[in-house]
Amino acid sequence: MKDFSDYKNIWVFAEQRQGKLVNVALELIGEGKKLAAEISDETRICAVLIGNGVDPLVEELYEYGADTVYVLQDPLLEQYTTDAYAKVMTDAINRYKPEIVLYGATHIGRDLAPRVAARLNTGLTADCTRLDINTANYMDYLEEKTTASLAGLDRNDPSKGLKQTRPAFGGNLMATIITPNTRPQMATVRPGVMDKREREEGARGERIDVNVEISKEDIHVEVLEVVKAAKEMVSLTDASIICSGGRGLGDASGFDLIRAFADKVGGVVGASRAAVDAGWIEQSHQVGQTGTTVKPHIYFACGISGAIQHLAGMQTSDIIVAINKDPECPMMQLADYAIEGDLKKVIPEIMELWDVE
């Protein structure tokens, strides 16, 4: 039987860009806190902060719930590079042995996590939408759920492992994945699906400065310049209002109306894949299973039927408003407010009413 007793605590990769923490890192600290409580009273939720000059972020991490912040700083870590981050993260995991390591399923998280998993020879579940702690024995759980051979798995594994849930087969089923025979258990998690904790001003925790061993020879790329996108910045995951358009817009010019709508209500423009595939708008606006998962306060779905792959990316929004000609379509059925009609008439009316008290 493998002995995992050295592996303790939950780590969250505290991804930051240009000195700002990305939202999903804070969401994972909130989720990790719940998981830690289920494992044991001693289990700590730890943020791993990598970069250079990132000290101002440490307090923010405590205030969102981190018990411990591991700080890995070096001028060579100023910009994200796969080689450097994978090396220092792997070294830290080998040294401190966390039981679970979580990353946001961002471009950086999706690049970093598999490299670290490969170096550690452990498993990784990508793109999770739900995490739980398996409170029963794994083998009982497996025996109940599967008819496949369980040969090779450890029948006596008493650990409380991580149950990782992610969409599979085009979103038609949800797969639950466990990693009984390796540590740490690692997952990337979609932005926007977990809840951030309320910020607790003044909360403080433990800081551990990790000795980083990195040299230029470890890094095979050089970042010459960071260029911000010249086009409109899309921050769907952080938006509190999203105005999304689908095939019902008719053509690309329909997005002029959606942009004006978003400007009016202080929202960000989203889109269905049908609209993206038609070339009416860039892919970065796509909401759904193969786009971005969002959780705004208000989601306006304009001319979007509500295919399962679209719903997978927005159904946990606080308030859903559907505008559609077809009252029977899934989006109209799901919506908190379903407005039946032609979006070209309904949207201008909402815009007019928006400022009326």
Contact residues for ligand FAD (CB under 6 A)? 170, 246-248, 272-275, 286-291, 303-305, 307, 309-310, 313, 323-326, 329, 342-344
Residue 73, annotated ligand binder? no
- Residues in a beta bridge with 46: 11, 68
| Mode of pairing for the β-strands spanning 68-73 and 206-209 | parallel
CB 263 within 8 A of CB 289: no
- Is the peptide bond between 75 and the residue preceding it cis, with omega within 30 degrees of 0? no
Given the complex with ligand FAD, which of 97 and 344 has the nearer CB atom? Answer: 344
- CA 271/CA 254 separation, integer angstroms: 11
Closer of 219 and 338 to ligand FAD (Cβ): 338
C-beta of 174: minimal distance to ligand FAD in Å?
15
214 is in an annotated binding site: no
Complex with ligand FAD: residue 104 or 245, whichever CB lies closer: 245
Nearer Cβ to ligand FAD, position 163 or 190? 190
At 274, the amino acid letter reads A
Closer CB to ligand FAD, 180 or 288, in the complex: 288
Q: Answer for the pair 180, 138: CB distance below 8 angstroms, yes or no.
A: yes
Residues 109, 179, 211, 189, Cα dihedral to 10°? 20
The answer to whether the annotation marks 309 as part of a ligand binding site is yes
**Based on CB atoms, which residue is closest to ligand FAD, 205 or 291?**
291
Distance linking the first and last C-alpha atoms of the chain: 67
> Strand 100-104 relative to strand 185-189: parallel, antiparallel, unpaired?
parallel
305 is in an annotated binding site: yes
Q: Closest separation between CB of residue 347 and ligand FAD, Å?
A: 9
No. of H helices and E strands in the chain? 10, 17
At its nearest, how many Å lie between ligand FAD and the CB of residue 310?
Answer: 3
Rounded to 5°, the CA angle 310-266-306 comes to: 15
The pairing of strands 10-13 and 100-104 is parallel
Q: Which is nearer to ligand FAD, 87 or 247 (CB)?
A: 247
- The least CB distance from residue 308 to ligand FAD, in Å, is 7
Shortest approach of ligand FAD to residue 112 CB, angstroms?
Answer: 23
110 is annotated as contributing to ligand binding: no
CB of 287 to ligand FAD, least distance (A): 6
79 is in an annotated binding site: no
CB of 257 to ligand FAD, least distance (A): 11
Asked if 213 contacts 90 with a C-beta cutoff of 8 angstroms, the reply is no
- Rg of the chain on CA atoms, in Å: 22
Six token digits for residue 139: 């083998």
123 is annotated as contributing to ligand binding = no
The token pair at 19 is 């000195």
Q: Any known ligand binding at 273?
A: yes
Token pair 């170096």 in the structure block, residue: 119
Q: Is 303 annotated as a binding residue?
A: yes
CB atoms within 10 A of CB 182: 16
Binding site listing: 247, 272-273, 286-290, 303-310, 324
Binding site listing for FAD: 247, 272-273, 286-290, 303-310, 324
